[in-house]
Amino acid sequence: MNKGINYLSTRGGQSSLQYEDVLLSGLARDGGLFMPEEWPTFSHSELNEMKKLSYSELAAKIMTPFIQPSLSHNEVLKICNEIYSKFTNDEVAPLKKMEDNLFILELFHGPTLAFKDYAMQFLSKAFNVALTKNKQRAVILGATSGDTGSAALEAFKGKDNVDIFILFPDGKVSPVQQKQMTWINDSGAHALSVKTDFDGCQEIVKDCFEDLKFKDQISLSAINSINWVRLLPQIVYYFYSALKVGAPDQEVAFSVPTGNFGNILAGWMAKKIGLPISNLICGSNQNDILTRFFNNGVMERKNVNPSFSPSMDIQVSSNFERLLFEILDRDAIKVKQEMYNFKKNGIFSIPKETMLKVNNLFSAYMISNNETLDIIKNTFENYNYILDPHSAIGFGSARKALDEKIISSSTPIISLACAHPSKFPDVIKKAINIKPQLPDHLKELMVSKEYFKVIGDDTKFIKNYLKEKMRS
């Protein structure tokens, strides 16, 4: 494996940066996203050796090449042991076999019952190490469609060297998701309910980062998956699950409920560094910008329609820029132009011959609200298993891929279950007339007082609010 990796911006303005630079910067100064200048790769024999490792050991093995020399393998392992030993399942990311070659990967055993915990817990430790070493403070600004915000506030609350501000769309997250953010009353932790949708929240975050004077003035950092280091821990559960169902001797397919494109991009990254993945199935709800893109090569923004899977109510998948960078052969000038066109006109397109680079790996499906209810109902009746509405989209998309024979019936398919069903009790009750029980700590949380501020979607106001509330 390579000894340390440098990073560059997808838009060409920065290069030769190290791990710590991209961790604390979040977004590149030219508005682009960071990517490795070169990719490490694991051999077939190394993958076989990984089968013997615990989840934490595997995480350290996979992430260290991207992080060293800033942190050694032992330092990364120490962080992983600290965070994953506190997850509620001994396997950390357990697999449930539904039938031959069809599995569900449970990614909701962290503190906020969502897959974001796997990365956010690591990110908070990584920030603390870097800031302490450099005797720095940071102001973190993030946008959430539901689960990122609660995972971030839970991970970063109470940190003396970090002030964290999370923007969430007013009235457009589930009651449980909102409570998980707004019960927190620690100094330096702020939940802001913004009168817009998630895309509007995300646009405010990007505008703040693109104001370089403001960014430098308050030491602004990011925890959304625009931050490269947020993606790294998500690669791990692709390896962990694939190795349990036959990899590296057997190719594996994954079905991923997808909104902001970060989680499925982590799967693409896993393949890039050696995991034998045959297919990545992209499941969308009725806000199906990604499904439309993979089917016709046109990325076109439309209005966001509220759905039963609110964390995926997104029309601007910010992480897609990283895949676009690779599709366009790392041509930063082209990427910059396409992203400018998309921001200005809400549309760009990729030629058919260029789309061939991804069409043999990605397939995409849209699952409607009614289909989501049917999938939850059928899965409960057939397997006595309750899916949350987002996980139902992943599972339903896997079913469609099998029905269309996109994937061989002999290929193991792992469908990612990204949140605990108790976070969306009303949708579950609508589907199966059962209200899933909240874990005890969430029952207490649901009757707690809320601490948050409702604000308009005014970037100038939010910048001033951050400067006013940040601790010196």
What is the per-residue pLDDT across 249-268, written as a single tens digit (0 to 9) for each?
A: 999 999 999 988 999 999 99
**What average pLDDT does range 114-121 have in this prediction?**
96
Domains contained in the chain, CATH given: 95-114+229-432 (3.40.50.1100)
**What average pLDDT does range 125-143 have in this prediction?**
95
Note the pLDDT tens digit of each residue in 335-389: 999 999 999 999 999 998 889 889 899 999 999 999 999 999 999 999 999 999 9
HSE-CB of 19 using CA atoms within 13 angstroms: 23
Q: Are 409 and 140 in contact (CB under 8 A)?
A: no
In 3D, which of 105, 106, 108, 136 has the Cα closest to residue 21? Answer: 136
In 3D, which of 417, 421, 416 has the Cα closest to residue 431? Answer: 421
Q: DSSP characters for 183-219? A: T---TTEEEEEESS-HHHHHHHHHHHHH-HHHHHHHT
Which member of 86, 96, 97, 116 is catalytic?
116
In this prediction, residue 2 carries a pLDDT of 44
Separation of alpha carbons 75 and 234, rounded Å: 19
Q: Is the pLDDT of residue 282 over 60?
A: yes
In 3D, which of 269, 271, 283 has the Cα closest to residue 416? Answer: 283
Note the pLDDT tens digit of each residue in 417-452: 999 999 999 999 999 999 998 888 788 888 899 999
Separation of alpha carbons 371 and 392, rounded Å: 9
Alpha helices in 346-424 (DSSP H): 352-359, 369-383, 389-403
Q: How long a stretch of residues is the chain?
A: 472
Mean pLDDT value across the chain: 95
116 is catalytic: yes
Q: Is the pLDDT of residue 99 over 90?
A: yes
Note the pLDDT tens digit of each residue in 195-235: 999 999 999 999 999 999 999 999 999 998 899 999 999 99
Amino acid at 93: A
